Amino acid sequence: MSGFPIPEPKLSWPPCAWPGPFTGREQYLLVEGGYHGLFDAAMWMANMDDWDLGSNTDPELVPYGRGIPPTVKQLAHITPMNDFQRLEDMFKRHGDHLAAMLIEPIQGNCCSIMARVEYVQLARELCTKYGVMLIIDEVKSGFRVGKSGIQGLMGVVPDITTFAKAVANGYPISVVAGREDVMRTFRYGGASHGGTYTAHSVSLAAADETLRILDETPALDTLASYGERLKSGISEILDARKIVHSYTGHPSMFGLFFAEAPPDNYRAWKTSDYSFYDAMAYHLHDLGIIVEPDSREPWFMCEAHGLDETCLTDTLKAVETAVDLVLEHGVQAAE
C-alpha cells in the first residue's frame, strides 16, 4: 500500500511539540527527487523542465499540480541530494527556522538514486546541531533492503521514520516510528493523528507474520541475491552489445541507467537521456515482463523471484530480446 497516510503527521509534530528543537518552527527541508506523499506540505518539486542547466540559479520550486495553496511554499526549502556544501549552506541560512528535514536515502520515485552514507551522516549532524528533526522516509526501502532498513545499513538514527508497503507484504498499512519522547506527543503533546482503518486487524496480522518471516528466515538475503544475479545477467547482455550502463540503489530495488556514471541526484537524472530505457521497457511489457515504463521507478525484487530459477532465465531472455528490438528500431543508448 502507499504510505500516503503517514507523512503529514511527520510534519505536524515538530512545530507543535515541547520546548527544545521543535518549538515554534514551521519551515522544513526537502531533498530534490524525494517523494513523501500527496499532501500540501510535500507536494513541491524543483521545476527542471524550465531550468537553465548552465545558469547559476536553482530550479524554481513549483507544486506537483493544481490546488496546492501557494502559501505553503513559504515554509518549504529544497536541496540537491549528495551536495554536501549546499546542505551545509542551507542549514547555515535556515537551520534556526527549520522544524524538520525529510529524506529518502534511496529515492524510490527517482531511479533508486542513493544518498551517500556520508551525506546522510552529515544531515544527522546538522539536524542535531540546529535542533532539527531528521525524518527518514523508508516507505519503499523499509523491510526490503535489510531488517534495519537503509538507516541501519548507513548507521544513522533518525528522530522519526516511516514504513509501509513491505512491512505487511503488500497489505494496506503504514507505520510511523521514532524516539520515545517524540512518539509520546501523540498522547501527551497535543499532536493529533488517527483514522478509520488505523490498527486494522487484518493488516496488523499480515505485518506480524511478515516480520516473523523476515526475522526467522533468509528472505531478505534471497531477494538481494536475486537482484545481484539479475543485474549481472543484464550486464552480460548489455556488455556483449557494447552498451554502456550502470546501476543505482540496492540489489533489492535497483535502478538501471544507460550511462557510464549513474546519477547521484535528481538534477543529474532529469537532465539525462533515458529514451533507451523507455523503449526497452515497452518491449519488455509485450514479452510478459512487467517493469515500470517510467525510468524513475526501481526494479523491485521479492523472495519468490529468488526461489524460482525460471524467473531469472525468463527475465534475462526477455531483456535480451527487448534490447535487440530497441537497437533494430534505431534507438541508441546514451554514451
Q: What is the pLDDT of residue 24?
A: 65
Q: What is the pLDDT of residue 239?
A: 98
Q: What is the pLDDT of residue 5?
A: 53
Q: What is the pLDDT of residue 55?
A: 74
Q: Are 135 and 160 in contact (CB under 8 A)?
A: yes
pLDDT tens-place string over residues 9-35 = 455 544 433 333 454 688 999 999 988
- Final residue in a domain of this structure, among 195, 215, 235: 215
Identify the CATH number of the domain in which residue 324 sits: 3.90.1150.10
Query: CA 249, 255, 261, 263 torsion: positive or negative?
Result: negative
Query: Is there a domain that residue 2 lies in?
Result: no
Domain that holds residue 268: 219-328
Q: Which residues pair with 137 in a beta bridge?
A: 162
pLDDT tens-place string over residues 154-170 = 999 999 999 999 999 99
Q: What is the pLDDT of residue 168?
A: 95
Q: Are 27 and 75 in contact (CB under 8 A)?
A: yes
Q: What is the DSSP letter of 308?
A: -
Rg value, the chain, Cα:
21
pLDDT over 90 at 85, yes or no:
yes
Q: What is the pLDDT of residue 3?
A: 57
pLDDT over 80 at 332, yes or no:
no
- Final residue in a domain of this structure, among 161, 187, 215: 215
- Number of domains comprising the chain: 2
Looking at the structure, tell me whether residues 48 and 112 fall in a common domain: yes
Give the percent of the chain with pLDDT over 70: 91
In this structure, the strands spanning 299-300 and 253-257 are: antiparallel
Looking at the structure, tell me whether residues 175 and 134 fall in a common domain: yes
pLDDT over 80 at 2, yes or no:
no
Alpha-carbon gap, residue 82 to 297, rounded angstroms:
20
Looking at the structure, tell me whether residues 271 and 288 fall in a common domain: yes
Q: How many CA atoms lie within 13 A of 64 on its CB side?
A: 13
pLDDT tens-place string over residues 171-210 = 999 898 999 888 887 777 677 777 788 889 999 999 999 9
Looking at the structure, tell me whether residues 98 and 210 fall in a common domain: yes
The H-or-E segment that residue 246 falls in is strand 246-250
What lies within 8 Å, CB to CB, of 79 at 6+ separation is: 29, 30, 31, 32, 86, 87, 90
Query: Is there a domain that residue 137 lies in?
Result: yes
